[in-house]
C-alpha cells in the first residue's frame, strides 16, 4: 500500500528521534517516497545529513527558507503528500497542533494539510499522563488525526518505566499502510456523533488491602472498551477512564488509567462536562478502611486478621445528582446475579440515570470476562430486550441507539 506514496515525515525533538532513521528505512522498503521535515529540537539528536542520506531527498528545516518558499514550499509539502507522519511527536508539538499554532515549518505544514495525519507520540510517562496532554490528544483525535502508541517500557533518557515510548518503526509503518488503505472519501456524510463528547468508564477497580493484595472482581473491560471504540468510530470525542485491564486501549480514544474507585471518580469528574456518560465499569462497592503498610502475615493462631471495610463512592449516583455537570444522557450498567430487572429499576431511580444496561453476570452465563453479552435496556419508557450478542455488537447497537436518541431530542 505504500508503493509510490508520498509520506512527509515530521521529526520533532526527543531522544526517540533516532528511531526515525529506522522508520525511514522501513517506509522506503515498502516503496514509499519519504520527505523529511525536522524541527530545531530534532536536529539536537540527529542530523539532517543522516536523514537526507536515508530519504535520498532534500530535508526541510526552516519555514523562512528563501529557496524552498519561492513556491510556498510548506503548502506544497502539505498538499502533495499522501500522508503526514509525525514520529516522534513531542508533548510540545501536540500542544501547538491542538491550538492551531504554526510558528515553524512543521506546524505550518500540519495546519495547511488536508491529508491524513498519523501521530506517534514519545515522551516521559508523567508528561503523557498529564491532564494537558490528555486534553490535547483528545482534541487532535476529535479533529480526525490517527495515533499509534505510545507503548509501555523503559525510557531511554531517564530510566523510568511507563507508557511513553514511541511505537516501534515496523508498527508505525504498518499503521501508515492501514491508514492509506482505509482513508475514507471526504465526500462521505458527517459521522453521526461528530462534535459529541462521550465519557466512558470500563473494567474493574482494585482496592488495596496491603502492598500485595487487593479487592477486585472479574470484569475484563471488554464491554466498556468496545463501547468507547464504537463511539469513536462514529465520530465522538471519547474519554475512557479504565481500571486495570489486560486488553489494549481502543484506537482514537483518550484513555485515563486508574486503579481504585476514588481515583476513577476523580478522573470522571475531571473529564466533565460531556454530552453522554456511560458508566460501564464494575466499580468495587467496598475498600479496606486502611491499607497495610506491609504484607499482612499469618500469626500462627489460625485466625484470619480482621478486615474492616468502608463503602466506596458511588460514581454513577454522584454524576446523576450533579447539579451543574450532569451529562445530557447518563447510562449506567447493572451487573446482577439475581432479581435483574428489579435491581436495575431501583438503580435507575436512585442514581438518576436515564438508561440502565442490565445484564446477568451469574457464573454460568460467562459474561464476566467473556466475549458475549445479553442485555436489557431499562428506562422510564420501559424495558428493551436484546438477544445474546458479541460485546462489540452490543457496543455498536448501544452507540447507534444513543445517536438516534440525541437526534430525536434535537440535542
Contacts of 214 (CB under 8 A, 6+ apart): 206, 207, 208
* Residue 351 marked as a ligand binder: yes
- Ramachandran class of 252: left when φ > 0, alpha when ψ lies in -120 to 50, beta otherwise: left
* Residue 19 marked as a ligand binder: no
* Residue 295 marked as a ligand binder: yes
* Residue 198 marked as a ligand binder: no
* Strand-pair partners of 36: 9, 59
* Residue 404 marked as a ligand binder: no
**End-to-end CA separation in angstroms for the chain:** 40
* Residue 407 marked as a ligand binder: no
User: Could you tell me where the beta strands, DSSP code E, fall in 233-351?
Assistant: 237-242, 254-257, 276-279, 286-288, 309-311, 329-336
3-state DSSP: the chain helix, strand, coil percent, rounded to 5? 35, 25, 40
Told to judge if 217 belongs to the known catalytic residues of this protein, a careful annotator would answer yes
* Residue 315 marked as a ligand binder: yes
Could you give the 3-state DSSP secondary structure of residue 80?
helix
Backbone angles phi, psi at 60, to 5 degrees: -100, 130
* Residue 298 marked as a ligand binder: no
Catalytic residue, chosen from 136, 217, 343, 359, is 217
* Residue 314 marked as a ligand binder: yes
Q: Is the dihedral of CA 199, 320, 334, 266 positive or negative?
A: positive
Rg of the chain, C-alpha, whole Å:
24
Contacts of 7 (CB under 8 A, 6+ apart): 27, 32, 33, 34, 35, 81, 82, 83, 84, 85, 176
Q: At how many degrees (to 10) do helices 73-80 and 105-112 cross?
A: 50
25, 50 Cβ separation under 8 angstroms: no
Which positions make up the binding site? 285, 295, 313-316, 333, 347, 351
Which positions make up the binding site for CTP? 285, 295, 313-316, 333, 347, 351
Active site residues: 217
Amino acid at each position: 500500500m505504500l508503493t509510490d506514496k508520498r509520506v512527509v515525515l515530521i521529526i520533532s525533538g526527543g531522544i526517540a528521534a533516532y528511531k526515525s532513521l529506522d522508520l525511514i528505512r522501513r517506509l522506503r522498503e515498502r516503496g514509499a517516497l519519504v520527505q523529511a521535515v525536522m524541527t530545531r529540537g530534532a536536529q539536537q539528536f540527529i542530523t539532517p545529513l543522516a536523514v537526507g542520506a536515508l530519504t535520498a531527498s532534500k530535508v526541510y528545516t526552516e519555514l523562512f527558507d528563501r529557496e524552498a518558499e519561492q513556491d510556498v514550499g510548506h503548502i506544497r509539502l502539505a498538499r502533495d503528500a499522501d500522508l503526514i507522519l509525525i514520529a516522534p511527536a513531542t508533548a510540545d508539538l501536540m500542544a501547538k497542533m491542538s491550538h492551531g499554532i504554526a510558528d515553524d515549518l512543521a506546524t505550518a505544514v500540519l495546519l495547511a494539510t488536508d491529508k491524513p495525519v498519523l501521530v506517534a507520540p514519545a515522551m516521559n510517562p508523567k508528561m503523557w499522563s498529564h491532564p494537558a496532554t490528555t486534553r490535547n490528544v483528545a482534541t487532535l483525535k476529535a479533529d480526525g488525526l490517527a495515533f499509534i502508541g505510545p507503548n509501555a517500557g523503559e525510557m531511554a533518557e531517564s530510566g523510568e518505566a511507563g507508557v511513553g515510548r514511541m511505537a516501534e518503526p515496523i508498527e508505525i509503518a504498518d499503521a501508515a499502510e492501514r491508514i492509506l488503505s482505509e482513508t475514507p472519501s471526504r465526500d462521505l456524510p458527517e459521522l453521526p456523533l461528530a462534535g459529541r463528547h462521550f465519557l466512558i468508564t470500563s473494567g474493574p477497580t482494585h482496592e488495596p488491602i496491603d502492598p500485595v493484595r487487593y479487592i477486585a472482581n472479574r470484569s475484563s473491560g471488554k464491554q466498556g472498551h468496545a463501547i468507547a471504540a464504537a463511539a469513536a468510530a462514529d465520530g465522538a470525542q471519547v474519554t475512557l477512564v479504565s481500571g486495570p485491564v489486560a486488553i489494549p486501549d481502543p484506537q482514537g480514544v483518550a484513555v485515563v488509567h486508574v486503579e481504585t474507585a476514588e481515583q476513577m471518580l476523580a478522573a470522571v469528574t475531571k473529564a466533565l462536562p460531556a454530552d453522554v456518560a456511560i458508566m460501564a465499569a464494575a466499580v468495587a462497592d467496598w475498600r479496606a478502611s486502611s491499607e497495610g503498610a506491609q504484607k499482612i502475615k499469618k500469626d500462627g493462631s489460625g485466625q484470619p486478621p480482621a478486615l474492616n471495610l468502608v463503602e466506596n463512592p458511588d460514581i454513577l449516583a454522584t454524576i446523576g445528582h450533579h447539579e451543574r455537570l450532569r451529562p445530557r444522557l447518563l447510562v449506567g450498567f447493572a451487573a446482577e446475579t439475581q432479581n435483574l430487572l428489579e435491581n436495575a429499576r431501583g438503580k435507575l431511580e436512585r442514581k438518576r440515570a436515564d438508561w440502565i444496561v442490565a445484564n446477568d453476570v451469574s457464573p454460568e452465563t460467562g459474561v464476566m470476562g467473556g466475549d458475549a453479552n445479553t442485555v436489557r435496556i431499562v428506562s422510564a419508557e420501559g424495558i428493551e430486550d436484546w438477544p445474546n450478542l458479541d460485546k462489540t455488537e452490543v457496543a455498536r447497537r448501544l452507540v447507534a441507539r444513543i445517536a438516534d436518541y440525541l437526534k430525536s431530542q434535537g440535542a
